């Protein structure tokens, strides 16, 4: 069998197949073709990635990439290059009122995959910058259930779920009301939700108690107030009950939602995240989130094994999206891969409150394979 591209001599880390060994990875016709030793490279584009790590294409489950359409939007392709991400999941940048523009002008021309959660608010996240910060859930007149259902039904090839944002900043005096509407839309469309929580009200427990199996609570390691741990550092019982019934917990680092203190407490008590994501946007891409590989590196510094960290940005994220063709290097799956280095040294990594941990190891993006082709070195 002839191949289009072969990545040679890399350390292949694919948790979906329980693989962690040096091997070649070959691609043909836009798909993964084979993993093996000394594969035939006749006629192929050969990239020697010896000393580097090859993983399934990284999935960042929480990004904001409606560049030019919202003040938070960043350029998806530029972000993918710097972070070796092959799938950006945009979490509610667009609502039903501006989704058509997001699809036509950003998603369809993009060289990397963009899968959106549709915001339950008509215009999505429209009022966030360094000078203006207006929570889109404050005004319940913008909650657009009928429009959401229409847009989902017209775009089921792309839309993976419904997004709603709750908290003092996001929904203000409307409190938990936007969740009522999002639940109704999710039920009508048969899609899961991703739910943002910031400072109270509503409380962390009030939100988590209403989530269903397959729904995602993002910002799950946020700092006080509305942290997932109490003042004694104990995981709140509502989270344990939610996980038992199938609610999923995502990091969503962003500019305000990752705390070293919270992370230590959660991991010490056996409550790891289901998925690790950056929540990268215009207000945190230059810190404290930066990108996906920086976010992943923070969990290495917390003591999570490399395989678990990679799983949280590949196979676990694909499972959350109900996209089994992603997040794996199984032959026949989508031909996306990320090439990373795991460097040793002294690397300062900050959380959203300014605490800095100096890590001894850090992941860096070194290359990206998209659709079975070498797309770009970082």
Specify whether the CB–CB gap between 296 and 263 falls below 8 A.
no
Is 279 known to sit in a ligand binding site?
Answer: yes
What the block records as the tokens of 204 is 């962390």
Helix axis angle for 145-154 and 177-189, nearest 10°, is 30
- DSSP class of residue 143 equals B
Return the H-helix or E-strand segment holding 3. Answer: none
The secondary structure of 305-340 as a DSSP string is: -HHHHHHTTTHHHHHHHT-TTSS---TTSB--EEEE
Residues 113 and 132: their CA atoms lie apart, in Å, by 30
Secondary structure class of 278 (helix, strand, coil): coil
Place of tokens 């910031």: 198
Distances (CA, A) of 316 to 52, 79, 342: 22, 21, 21
Residue 74 burial (C-beta neighbours within 10 Å; 0-12, 13-18, 19+): buried
Is residue 25 helix, strand or coil?
Answer: strand
Three-class secondary structure of residue 345 per DSSP: strand
How does 341-357 read in b/e, with b if 16+ C-beta sit within 10 Å? bbeeeebebbbbeeeee
Residues 376 and 378: their CA atoms lie apart, in Å, by 6
Residue 64 assigned ligand-binding role: yes
Residue 253 marked in a binding site = no
Is 105 marked as a binding-site residue?
A: no
157 is in an annotated binding site: no
Is there a binding annotation on residue 163?
yes
Phi–psi pair at 309, nearest 5 degrees = -65, -45
If one counts every other C-beta atom within 10 angstroms of the C-beta of residue 2, the result is 11
The sign one gets for the Cα dihedral 88, 357, 247, 311 is positive
Give the residue ranges of the annotated binding site for Zn(2+).
62, 64, 163, 196, 219, 279
Give the residue ranges of the annotated binding site.
62, 64, 163, 196, 219, 279
């Amino acid at each position: 069998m002839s191949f289009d591209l072969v990545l040679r001599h890399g350390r292949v880390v694919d948790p979906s197949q329980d693989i962690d060994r040096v091997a070649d990875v070959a691609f043909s016709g836009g798909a993964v073709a084979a993993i093996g030793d000394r594969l035939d490279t006749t006629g192929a584009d050969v990239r020697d990635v010896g000393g580097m790590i090859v993983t399934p294409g990284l999935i960042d489950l929480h990004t904001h990439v409606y560049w030019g359409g919202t003040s938070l939007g960043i350029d998806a392709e530029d972000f993918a290059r710097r972070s070796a991400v092959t799938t950006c999941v945009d979490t509610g940048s667009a609502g039903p009122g501006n989704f058509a523009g997001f699809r036509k002008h950003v998603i369809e021309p993009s060289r990397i995959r963009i899968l959106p959660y549709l915001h339950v608010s008509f215009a999505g996240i429209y009022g966030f910058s360094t000078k203006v910060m207006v929570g889109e859930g404050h005004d319940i007149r913008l909650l657009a259930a009928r429009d959401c259902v229409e847009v989902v039904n017209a775009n089921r090839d792309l839309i993976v779920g419904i997004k709603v944002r709750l908290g003092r900043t996001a929904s203000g005096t409307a409190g938990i009301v936007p969740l009522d509407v999002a639940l109704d839309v999710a039920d009508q469309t048969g899609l899961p939700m991703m739910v943002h929580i910031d400072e109270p009200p509503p409380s962390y427990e009030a939100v988590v108690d209403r989530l269903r199996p397959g729904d995602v609570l993002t910002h799950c390691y946020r700092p006080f107030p509305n942290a997932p741990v109490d003042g004694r550092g104990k995981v709140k019982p509502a989270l344990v009950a939610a996980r038992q019934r199938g609610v999923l917990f995502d990091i969503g680092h962003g500019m305000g939602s990752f705390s070293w203190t919270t992370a230590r407490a959660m991991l010490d008590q056996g409550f790891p995240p289901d998925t690790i994501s950056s929540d990268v946007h215009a207000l945190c891409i230059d810190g404290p989130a930066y990108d996906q590989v920086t976010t992943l590196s923070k969990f290495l510094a917390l003591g999570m094994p490399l395989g678990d960290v990679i799983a949280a940005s590949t196979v676990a994220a694909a499972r959350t999206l109900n996209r089994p063709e992603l997040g794996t290097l199984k032959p026949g799956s989508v031909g996306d891969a990320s090439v990373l280095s795991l460097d040793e040294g002294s690397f300062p990594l900050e959380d959203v409150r300014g605490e800095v941990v100096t890590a001894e190891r850090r992941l860096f993006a070194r290359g990206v394979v998209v659709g079975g082709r070498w797309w770009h070195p970082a």
